[in-house]
Amino acid sequence: MAAAFPEIEKIRYEGPKSKNPLAFRWYNPDEVIEGKTMAEHLRFSVVYWHTFRGTGSDPFGPGTMLRPWDDGSESVENAIRRVKVAFEFIEKLGAPFYAFHDRDVAPEGATLRESHKNFDAVAKVLKDEQDRTGIKLLWGTANLFSNPRFMHGAATSSHADVFAYGAAQVKKCLEVTKALGGENYVFWGGREGYQNLLNTDLKRELDHLAKFFHMAVDYAKKIGFTGQFLIEPKPKEPTKHQYDSDAAACLNFLRSYDLLPYFKLNLETNHATLAGHTMMHELEYAGMQGALGSIDANTGDLLLGWDTDQFPTNLYLTTECMLAILKWGGMGAGGVNFDAKVRRESFEPIDLFYAHIGGMDAFARGLKIAAEMRADGEFTKFVKDRYSTWDSGIGAEIESGKATFETLEAYMLEKGEISPHKSGRQEMLENLFNRYF
Ligand code: 3MF
Ligand code: MG
Ligand code: MG
C-alpha cells in the first residue's frame, strides 16, 4: 500500500529555536525530568475516533475532511486500510500509544455475531501493526452510545435486552483489548443518564450500572485481563444529566457500590469545564484519593458551551495539569490521550500532524515548567506555611483526634479573640506563576 503521508518524515525534536512547523520544539522524548524521561511522563496517545474516523460533520452540514485513503464504505477492507494509515501516522508522529472504541476500528455488522467477526479480523491487523511498530494500546472501549438501540442508555437502559447487548459488546471488547495488550479499559458514560426524571427510575438505573461494572470486573478476572479499569466523567451531552458527572460523583458511586478498588478515573479537560470545574480541580480531587488514572487531553472554548474537543495549546492549562499529575506521582498505566479533533475547516491530512505536534509540545512545555516550579518549591512552601498552625499545638491535637468540642471550647475561652491570619496572597502567587513563562 502506498504511503498516506508521503511528504511527511518522522517528526523530530529540533529545540525551541526551530521554525519548522513539522518539528517538536519542546517534546524531547529522551530528556529526563524528575528522574523519568518525557516519554515516560507523558505517554502520548492518539485516538482512533476523531483522528481516523472524524469526518468534520456538524448539525448544519456533512463532513469536510479530505482522507484519500478512505473510500467511506463500512467494509472490513476499508477498515484494514485505515489501520495501516493510522499506524503510519502514529509512527511518524512518534506517539507511543493509541486508543479506540470497538466500532471505530471495525464496522458493525448486521448481527452481533457478524460484528464480533469484523472486530476479530481488524484486531488481527492491529496486532500485526503493533508488533511491526512497537506502538501500544493505551486503552480500548466499547461504543455503547451510537447505535439507536442505545437511545435510552446501555447499562442504564429501561430495556433489559439492551443491557444484555451492551454486556456482550464489552465482553468481546475486553477480550480484544487483552489480546492487544491494552494497558487500561475505559468506560465513558455515553447515554448513561437521563433527560427527564418523570420517566426515569434513578435508583434502579444506578443499581444496574453498578451490576454492569461488577460483571466487567468479574469477567476481567476470569480471562486474566490485568489492565486498569477507568471511568471517564462528563456532566452533560448527550443526556441532560450524565450519571458520571464529575470526579466526585464517580468516586461516590464507585465507593457506594464496592467498586472503588477496581477503578480509577480518566479525566478530560473539556468535561471538567462543562462540570463547572477546572481540570486542575478534577486532577487534584482524583489524585488525593489515589484515583488518578489517565487523561483525555483537549480543551473547550470559553465562548462555546459544549464539548468542542479542541487540541490543547494553552500553556497555563498544560502546566496546571502537569503540576497536579507530578504532585500525585504520575498516572501509572495511563497517559496523555488526545481526545481532540481538528476543526471542520482544517480538512487536509497534514492538519492532523500540526494538531498533535502542538498538543505534544504544549504538554512537554507544561511538564518542564511544572518541574521548574516544583524544584524552586515556592508554591509548596507557601501552602505549607499557610497551614502551619496545624503542625503543632491545637491544630495537631485536632488532626490527631485528641481534641473534642469541649477541649476546643475551653481553649478558646482561655485564648479570647483571634488575630487576623496570614494573607492569601493570591495576586502575588499569580504573578509568581507568570514568572515561569
Ligand atoms: C465524549 C468522550 C468520548 C470518550 C470515549 C472513550 C468519544 O465526550 O470524550 O469520546 O472519551 O467514548 O471513553
Ligand atoms: Mg474523552
Ligand atoms: Mg469529550
274 lines ligand 1 (CB under 6 A): no
Q: What is the model's pLDDT at position 305?
A: 85
3-class secondary-structure state, position 22: coil
**Phi, psi (degrees; rounded to nearest 5) at 199:** -115, 15
Closest CA to 191 of 218, 227, 174, 166: 166
Per-residue pLDDT 10s for the chain (437 aa) are 899 999 999 999 999 999 999 999 999 999 999 999 999 999 999 999 999 999 999 999 999 999 999 999 999 999 999 999 999 999 999 999 999 999 999 999 999 999 999 999 999 999 999 999 999 999 999 999 999 999 999 999 999 999 999 999 999 999 999 999 999 999 999 999 999 999 999 999 999 999 999 999 999 999 999 999 999 999 999 999 999 999 999 999 999 999 999 999 999 999 999 999 999 999 999 999 999 999 999 999 989 988 999 999 999 999 999 999 999 999 999 999 999 999 999 999 999 999 999 999 999 999 999 999 999 999 999 999 999 999 999 999 999 999 999 999 999 999 999 988 899 999 999 999 999 99
**Residues 27, 373 contacting (CB under 8 angstroms):** no
| CB neighbour burial string for 397-407, b if at least 16 within 10 angstroms, e if fewer | beeeeeeeeee
Q: What is the model's pLDDT at position 1?
A: 83
Residue 108, annotated as binding a ligand: no
339 lines ligand 1 (CB under 6 A): yes
Residues 382 and 425: their CA atoms lie apart, in Å, by 9
Q: What is the model's pLDDT at position 174?
A: 99
Q: What is the model's pLDDT at position 271?
A: 97
232 lines ligand 1 (CB under 6 A): yes
Would you please indicate which residues are annotated as catalytic (active-site) residues?
Answer: 101, 104
Any alpha helices (H) in 150-278, and if so which ranges? Answer: 160-179, 202-223, 247-256, 269-274
Q: How far is the CA of 188 from the centre of ligand 1 (A)?
A: 6
**Residues 138, 97 contacting (CB under 8 angstroms):** yes
Query: Which CATH superfamily is 12-376 part of?
Result: Divalent-metal-dependent TIM barrel enzymes (3.20.20.150)
Domain coordinates in residue numbering, the chain = 12-376, 379-435
Q: What is the model's pLDDT at position 436?
A: 98
pTM listed for this prediction: 0.97
Q: What is the model's pLDDT at position 213?
A: 98
Residue 339, annotated as binding a ligand: yes
**Residues 96, 43 contacting (CB under 8 angstroms):** yes
For residue 313, how many other CB atoms are within 10 A of its CB?
Answer: 13
The preferred substitution site among 188, 228, 246, 266 for testing ligand 1, maximizing ligand atoms within 8 Å of CB, is 188
Report the nearest atom of ligand 1 relative to the CA of 145. Answer: 12
Q: What is the model's pLDDT at position 421?
A: 86
Residue 244, annotated as binding a ligand: no
